[in-house]
Amino acid sequence: MNRPGVDRSGTGASAAPATGGGRIRTPLPFPTAAAPAVADTQLRANLHRATRTIRGKRARVVDEVPDWEALRDAGAAIKADVQRRLPELLEQFEASATAAGATVHWARDAAEACRIVVELTRAAGADEVVKVKSMATQEIELNEALEAAGIAAYETDLAELIVQLGDDTPSHILVPAIHYNRAQIREIFHRRMPDAPADLSDEPSALAEAARAHLRRRFLSARVAVSGANFAIADTGTLVVVESEGNGRMCLTLPETLISVVGVEKLLPTFTDLEVFLQLLPRSSTGERMNPYTSMWTGVTPGDGPQSVHVVLVDNGRSAVLADPVGRPTLSCIRCSACLNVCPVYERAGGHAYGSVYPGPIGAILSPQLTGVADNASLPYASTLCGACYDVCPVKINIPEILVHLRQQAPHPLAERATMRVLSWVMRSPRRWAAALRLARAGAGPLGAYRERRTGARTLRRLPWPASAWTRSRDLPLPAPQTFREWWDQQ
Amino acid sequence: MRIALFITCVNDLAYPGTGIAVTRILRRLGHTVDFPTDQTCCGQMHANTGYRAEAMPMVRNYVDVFDEYDAIVAPSGSCTAMIRDQYPRLHPPAAPVAARTYELSELLVDVLGVTDVGAEFPETVTYHPTCHGLRMLRLGDRPLKLLRQVRGIQLVELGDAEECCGFGGTFALKNPDVSTAMLTDKCARVRDTGARVLAAADNSCLAHIGGGLDRHRSGVRAVHYAEILAATGATS
Ligand code: SF4
C-alpha cells in the first residue's frame, strides 16, 4: 500500500504522486455552473440569510477569546509539523491503533477506499450501514459504491438526511442543506420519509422530531456504521468525531462494526494537541463555544461499543498536495467552513457551482490540487482575491496566495494568453507604454467627445464581446482627454 | 525626503485627476514630488491572473525606476498591496523598495504625520474600504482619519462596507454573473446611505462600482478619496 512520501515498493522509483478521484471534479466550468444559482432568487435569499447569521455568530464568539490569534498560530504550527512528518506520524498512528485492537487499511485513491469499505461490510454480513456525516466518504462517493454493491447507506446527520432524501448533493461542508428553507425541507420529508406524520409542520422542532423518530429505528437495527474523523491522534491511535446532534455518537457506539474513512492529513501528533483544535473548530464552524458532542475512541474496548474497528486511511491526491511547498498548507484545513460563510462568491454562486464536495474558498484550492489543476481549471479563478477567507481561517491558510499560485499552473485560453503577452511586451517598456496610452486616447477621443456631447458622460454603455462581459452590468470609463504623464510634462 | 509618485496604469489612462490630486496635496503640504516617467505598471493584472513570467519585467522595471527614492506613494490600495505583499516573494531584491512603497493614507498619516491636509468638500460622502487596502495593507481607518478633517464634509456609514464589490480584476470578466450579483448588492448599500459621493482608495474598484451606479442612474458620484483631500471647496 501507498503511504504518503513512503516508498514501499522497494524499487526506489519515485513516480509522481497520483491524483485523486471521486466527487472532486467540476463537470461544468465554474461560471457556467454558477449562472443558474445566481439567477435563483430563492436560493440566494436562503444562502444570504444562513451565511449572514452564522458569520455573525462566529465573529461574536471569536471576539470573546483573548488569545484567538495565538490559537490560530498554534493550530497552523501543529499542522505544519504534521505535514513535515506525515509518513512518520502515519506509521506511528498505525502502530498505536493496531496495538489498541483496530485494523488499519491504506487506500491510494477513492476507488480503493470504496472497495475496502464494501469488503468489510460484506465480511460483517450486513446489507445496510448507518453513516455519520463525513466529508471523506462524500469525497470518495462511498454511498454510490455501496449502493452498487447492494448495500444501503443511511445518512443520520439531519441535514445530510435531507439532502439524501432529496436526491441532492450537499452544498456546504457543515450545513449540507443550507440551500433549502424549512418549507422546502417539510416538502422533502412529506414526499420521501414514509413514517413522517401526515400533519408535519415546517417548525424546525417538528422537522427534527420527525427525523429523530425515523432515524431511531435505523440506529437500533444497524450492525455496521461508517464514519469519518475530525482528528486522528498519532501517539495514541485515537479517532475523534466532533458533532452537534448526537446521531454520530449513536452510530459510533451501537453497531458491532465501525469503519472510519479518514484522509491522511487528519493526523495530529499528540493527544494534547486536541486542546488547540477543540477550541478553534466549534467557534469557527458553528459559532459555538463548544460543540455538544465530542466522541473519541481508541481501538476496541472489550464488551463496550463496536468490537470490530477499522480505519481506512485515504490518500486520493493528498500526497501530490504535500509535494508542493506553496500548496501544502491546504492540508491544514479542519473543514470548519468559516471561509465559505464569509465568501461573497460562495454566497452568490452556492455550493453546487464548485462541482466538488468541497465548495467555497477551500474547495477552490483543494479540489484543483487533488485532481491536478488542468482538471479543475476554472476553480482557482472563482474568487476575487478579496481575502475574507484568509482572515477567518482558524489555521491561517493563505487561500488568496494559493489561488494565485494555482492560476500560474492553470491552462490559459489562447486568446487570453496572446493578449496578456502583448500587454506585457507593451508595459515593460516605458516608451511603448507611453505610446500605447496616446494611441488608446486617440482611438477613444472622438468616441468620448461624441458620448460626452450627447450624454455628458465619458463612459461606454454597450461593447461587443469580450468587453460585453463588463458592459452588461456597468458602464466603462473611456481614456481621459489627457493622461497623467501628459499633464506632468505640461507643467 | 525624496518622494516619488507611482501613478498606476489605470490612473494614468483613465483617471489622471487622481494623480493630479496627490501631487496637489503633497505640494500643499510643502513637499516636492517627482514623477519618474520610466514607470509603467506594477504587473498586478498579470501576476494575479496567472502570468507570473509576463509580470516579471514590470516588477524589475519598478525596482529600477524607484530604487533611488526615500518614499514612493501610490493612490491605489491594490497596486500597493501587489508591490508590498507579492514583490518580495516574486523578486527578493525588490524587498527594500517594496517596503518604502506606501498607499497615500499611509504616507500621509504614518510617514508625514498629518491628518488635516487643509481640504474643503461640502458633500455627503460614504466610504468603501476596498479589499486589498483593508485586508492586505491593513489600512484600517487611516483614510477616514483624513476624511474626517475635511471641512464641510458629511461622512455617512456604508452598510456591509467590508464586503467585496465583485471587481477582482479579471474576475469581473471571467465570472460576469457572480460579479454582477455582488455589484448589484454593493450599489444598493451605497444608495441606502443617501450619500451623493462614494469614495474609495482604488480607481479600479471605483470604476466597477461607479460603472454600476451610472448604469442605474443613481446620481451618486464615485470619486477617489485623494480628490476629496485635494479639494479646496472652490472647485469640487
Ligand atoms: S480553509 Fe480554513 S476556514 Fe476554510 S474550512 Fe478549512 S480550516 Fe475552515
Q: How far is the CA of A403 from the centre of ligand 1 (A)?
A: 14
**pLDDT value of position A5:** 44
Strand partners, B156: B126
Rounded mean pLDDT of chain B? 95
Provide Rg for chain A, Cα atoms.
26
Q: How far is the CA of B120 from the centre of ligand 1 (A)?
A: 45
Over residues B35-60, the pLDDT tens digits come to: 999 999 999 999 999 999 999 999 99
Q: In A, which residues are within 8 Å of B212 by CB distance? A: 473-474
**pLDDT value of position A438:** 87
d(CA A34, CA A83): 34
Global confidence as pTM: 0.94
Q: Measure B176 CA to nearest chain A CA, in Å.
A: 6
**pLDDT value of position A479:** 84
**pLDDT value of position A16:** 64
**pLDDT value of position A445:** 67
Interface test with A, best of B160, B164, B177 (most A CBs within 10 A): B177
**pLDDT value of position A440:** 85
Cβ of residue B174 closer than 8 Å to a chain A Cβ: yes
Residues in chain B: 236
Residue nearest ligand 1's atom 6 by CA: A333
**pLDDT value of position A458:** 65
Which residue type occupies A102? A
Partner residue facing A474 (CB), from B48, B58, B211 = B211
CB neighbours of B31 closer than 8 A, spacing ≥ 6? B1, B3, B112
Contact A209, A201 (CB under 8 A): no
**pLDDT value of position A10:** 35
Contact A349, B179 (CB under 8 A): no
What are the CB-based long-range contacts (under 8 Å, 24+) for A484-491? A484/B7, A484/B11, A484/B12, A484/B16, A484/B19, A484/B20, A484/B35, A485/A434, A485/A437, A485/B7, A485/B12, A485/B35, A485/B37, A486/B16, A487/B16, A487/B19, A487/B20, A488/B19, A488/B23, A488/B35, A488/B37, A489/B37
Q: In B, which residues are within 8 Å of A473 by CB distance? A: 176, 179-180, 183-184, 211-212, 215
**pLDDT value of position A454:** 66
Task: List, as ranges, residues 439-468 from A with C-beta within 8 Å of B.
Answer: 440-441, 457, 459, 461, 466
The answer to whether residue B70 scores a pLDDT higher than 50 is yes
Q: How far is the CA of A156 from the centre of ligand 1 (A)?
A: 24
Residue nearest ligand 1's atom 7 by CA: A333
| Residues A310-342 as b or e (16 or more Cβ within 10 Å = b) | bbbbbbbbbbbbbeeeebbbbbbbbbbbbbbbb
Q: How far is the CA of B87 from the centre of ligand 1 (A)?
A: 26
Cβ of residue A490 closer than 8 Å to a chain B Cβ: no
Q: In B, which residues are within 8 Å of A44 by CB distance? A: 181
Strand partners, B72: B4, B101
Nearest to A236 by CA among A271, A273, A277: A271
Grid coordinates given for A124 = 460483517
Q: Measure A357 CA to nearest chain B CA, in Å.
A: 20
* pLDDT classification of B98: cutoffs 50, 70, 90: very high
The answer to whether residue B66 scores a pLDDT higher than 80 is yes
Partner residue facing A421 (CB), from B54, B164, B179 = B54
Q: DSSP states of B201-229 as a string?
A: S-HHHHHHHHHHHHHTT--PEEEEHHHHH
* Preceding peptide of A466 cis, ω within 30°: yes
Give Dmax (Cα) for chain B.
Answer: 48
Q: How far is CA B116 from CA A82, A417, B147, in A?
A: 51, 46, 8
Task: List, as ranges, residues 189-248 from A with C-beta within 8 Å of B.
Answer: none
Q: In A, which residues are within 8 Å of B178 by CB distance? A: 31, 34, 38, 345, 348-349, 382
d(CA B74, CA B83): 10
**pLDDT value of position A198:** 86
Partner residue facing A348 (CB), from B9, B178, B215 = B178
Three state DSSP letters for A108-153: CCHHHHHHHHHHHHHHCCCCEEEECCCHHHHHCCHHHHHHHCCCEE
Q: What residue ranges of chain A have pLDDT lower than 70?
A: 1-16, 445-458, 463-466
Q: Given an 8 Å threshold on Cβ–Cβ distance, is B13 in contact with A441?
A: yes
Interface test with A, best of B178, B202, B203 (most A CBs within 10 A): B178
Nearest to B81 by CA among B52, B110, B50, B106: B106
Residue whose cell numbers read 458629511: B154
Q: Given an 8 Å threshold on Cβ–Cβ distance, is A477 in contact with B207?
A: yes
Q: Given an 8 Å threshold on Cβ–Cβ distance, is A387 in contact with B43?
A: no
Which residue type occupies A381? Y
Over residues B105-153, the pLDDT tens digits come to: 999 999 999 999 999 999 999 999 999 999 999 999 999 999 999 999 9
The phi and psi torsions of B231 (rounded to 5 degrees) equal -70, 145
Residues in chain A: 491
Three state DSSP letters for A150-201: CCEEEECCHHHHHHHHCCCCCCCCCCCCCCCCHHHHHHHHHHHCCCCCCCCC
Nearest to A106 by CA among A6, A239, A222, A217: A6
Closest-CA residue in chain B for A478? B14
d(CA A160, CA A240): 20
**pLDDT value of position A9:** 37
Q: In B, which residues are within 8 Å of A422 by CB distance? A: none
Assign A26 to helix, strand or coil. Answer: coil
Contact A281, A330 (CB under 8 A): no
Q: How far is the CA of A33 from the centre of ligand 1 (A)?
A: 23
Sign of CA dihedral A152, A154, A155, A160: positive
ipTM of the complex: 0.96
**pLDDT value of position B220:** 96
**pLDDT value of position A450:** 66
Partner residue facing A38 (CB), from B9, B86, B181 = B181
Nearest to A131 by CA among A24, A39, A259: A259
CB-ligand 1 contact for A397 (6 Å cutoff): yes
Residue nearest ligand 1's atom 2 by CA: A393
**pLDDT value of position A15:** 55
